[in-house]
Copies of this chain bind each other. A is one copy, B any other.
């Protein structure tokens, strides 16, 4: 298994330590799996203590040996129970302010820490963590490239398998199998609470235009109100848009894409909308570079969509539209930055985002494409390379 290099972990920890010092926070405890992986290289059950100055300490409940193999951190100790961390950390001193991941940490866990450290004040450092994680290193971009290769293969493979009469779920399963066999870890993570999300859906025609309960534009109907999203038993049909949304995680790193397929031909209105999606994508590629505010891409897209008379179908359906056109990706699928209304943060070198101009036609379906980009010194570089036109499948 590929391990996170030592220098990576060192730089990440130093970056977070600077943030802690700026915020006058003495130390923090990292607990959530993804943050643990990012700052220590392992998600074996652990508590990672990072002081604002000095060496981090990884306290491992289980499995200690595996954590030691996976993490390049210097100080790794075993603990029998979570309670042990209180006496260990009290010896460290300087626990006036302890930072926690308050965006994800459950209330009852905070209560336990409050009992363990009655003198300490607990503060939210989730935004600082997200900002550190927002800028990807060249190592991380390498991982994302591997991930994108698998995603490209999945979209290529779809051409070979889609056929009239197949259920969405059959197609989805075969794509997942291919992804897994190429190294997709199987799970793609979303940070926001209560947003459990499928990592693959194949949506035939009207399936694509079901309104989502999540902060996304397209999610599908699913097969039960208990999990009302994803592929269904709807069949592939002739001359309707077949929308495939797929995310791959390689070594934790997620790429997220979408393509539009058709067995036969799409109506002109939908083909025209797809052309507008391509125009929006091309314009973004032309102007994106460090310094351009993230919100700018949403505004430009909106203007173009309005000019083309498609404003009722963009990123949702009339009155149910999401004010964004892209989102950061990395170890989670909902990272910073957001290419959204109100998100004025400028692009920076090393940001990685998915860009997804999508049109949803009620009762008809979705035409869309979604690709992933890394911000470079002078522009953006595309990570995903699958065929970017409407993919026409000949009926066999």
Residues of A within 8 A of B (CB): 1-4, 31-33, 37, 41-45, 62-63, 65-66, 70, 100, 102-111, 124, 126, 167, 169-170, 172-174, 176-177, 180-181, 183, 185-187, 189, 193-194, 196, 198, 211-214, 222-228, 230, 249-253, 320, 331
In the complex formed, the residue of B with least CB distance to A67 is B213
Give Cα A169–Cα B180 distance, bound, in whole angstroms.
7
Q: Which residues of B contact A104 (CB under 8 A)?
A: 106, 193
Shortest C-beta distance, A186 to chain B (Å), equals 6
Inter-chain pairs besides A4-B225, A62-B320, A169-B181, 11 sampled, C-beta below 8 Å: A37-B226, A43-B213, A44-B213, A66-B228, A106-B193, A185-B227, A186-B227, A186-B230, A224-B250, A226-B252, A227-B252
Cβ–Cβ contact B66 & A222, under 8 A: no
In the bound complex, do residue B174 and residue A177 qualify as a contact, i.e. CB atoms below 8 Å apart? Answer: yes
Q: For the complex formed by this chain, how many copies does it contain in all?
A: 2
Contacts of A109 in B (CB 8 A): 193
Q: Which of B2, B107, B180, B181 is the one whose CB lies under 8 Å from A106?
A: B107
Whether A194 lies near B32 (C-beta < 8 A) is: yes
Q: With both chains docked as a complex, state the minimum distance between the C-beta of A77 and any C-beta of chain B, in angstroms.
A: 16
| Closest CB pairs A-B (n = 3) | A226-B252, A173-B177, A102-B107
Chain B residue with Cβ nearest A200: B186
Chain B neighbourhood of A63, CB < 8 A:
211-213, 320
List chain B residues, Cβ under 8 A from A230.
185-186
Known: A225-B37, A252-B226. A103 touches B103 (CB 8 A): no
> A65 to chain B: which residues have CB within 8 Å?
211
Look across to chain B and name the residue whose beta carbon is closest to the beta carbon of A172: B180
Q: Which residues of B contact A1 (CB under 8 A)?
A: 223-225
Q: How far, in Å, is A230 (CB) from chain B's closest CB?
A: 6
Write the nearest CB–CB distance from A382 to chain B, whole angstroms: 24
Q: Which residues of B contact A331 (CB under 8 A)?
A: 226
Compute how far the CA of A90 lies from the CA of B225 in the bound complex, rounded to whole angstroms.
30
Inter-subunit contact A225/B70 (CB<8 Å):
yes
**Interchain CB contact under 8 A, B213 and A186:** no
Residues of B within 8 A of A126 (CB): 108
Q: Which of B185, B225, B320 contacts A226 (CB 8 A)?
A: B185
Please measure, in the bound complex, the distance between the C-alpha atom of A205 and the C-alpha atom of B376, giving whole angstroms. 46
Cα separation A235 to B33 with both chains bound (whole Å): 28
In the bound complex, residues from chain B placing their C-beta under 8 Å from that of A176 are 173, 176-177
Asked whether, in the complex, the Cβ of A45 is within 8 Å of the Cβ of B224, the reply is: no
Residue of A41, A183, A225, A331 with most chain B CB atoms under a 10 A cut-off? A225
Contact B43 A226 (CB under 8 A): yes
Given contacts A107-B106, A180-B169, contact A42 B225 (CB under 8 A): yes
- Could you say which residues of chain B place their CB within 8 Å of the CB of A183? 223
A320 vs B75: C-alpha distance when bound (angstroms): 23
A252 to chain B, nearest CB (A): 3
Distance in angstroms from A112 CB to nearest chain B CB is 11
Q: Collect the chain B residues with CB atoms within 8 Å of residue A167's CB.
A: 181
B170 lies within 8 A of A177 (CB): yes
List residues of chain B with CB within 8 A of the CB of A37.
225-226
Complex: how many Å from CA A194 to CA B108?
13
For residue A197, give the distance in angstroms from its CB to the closest CB of chain B: 9
A-B contact pairs, 30 of them (CB 8 A): A1-B223, A1-B225, A3-B225, A33-B196, A37-B226, A43-B213, A43-B225, A43-B228, A63-B320, A70-B225, A100-B107, A102-B106, A102-B107, A102-B108, A102-B111, A103-B107, A105-B107, A106-B193, A107-B124, A108-B126, A170-B181, A185-B222, A186-B230, A187-B196, A187-B198, A187-B227, A189-B196, A224-B252, A226-B249, A226-B253
Which residue in chain B gives the minimum CB-CB distance to A196?
A: B187
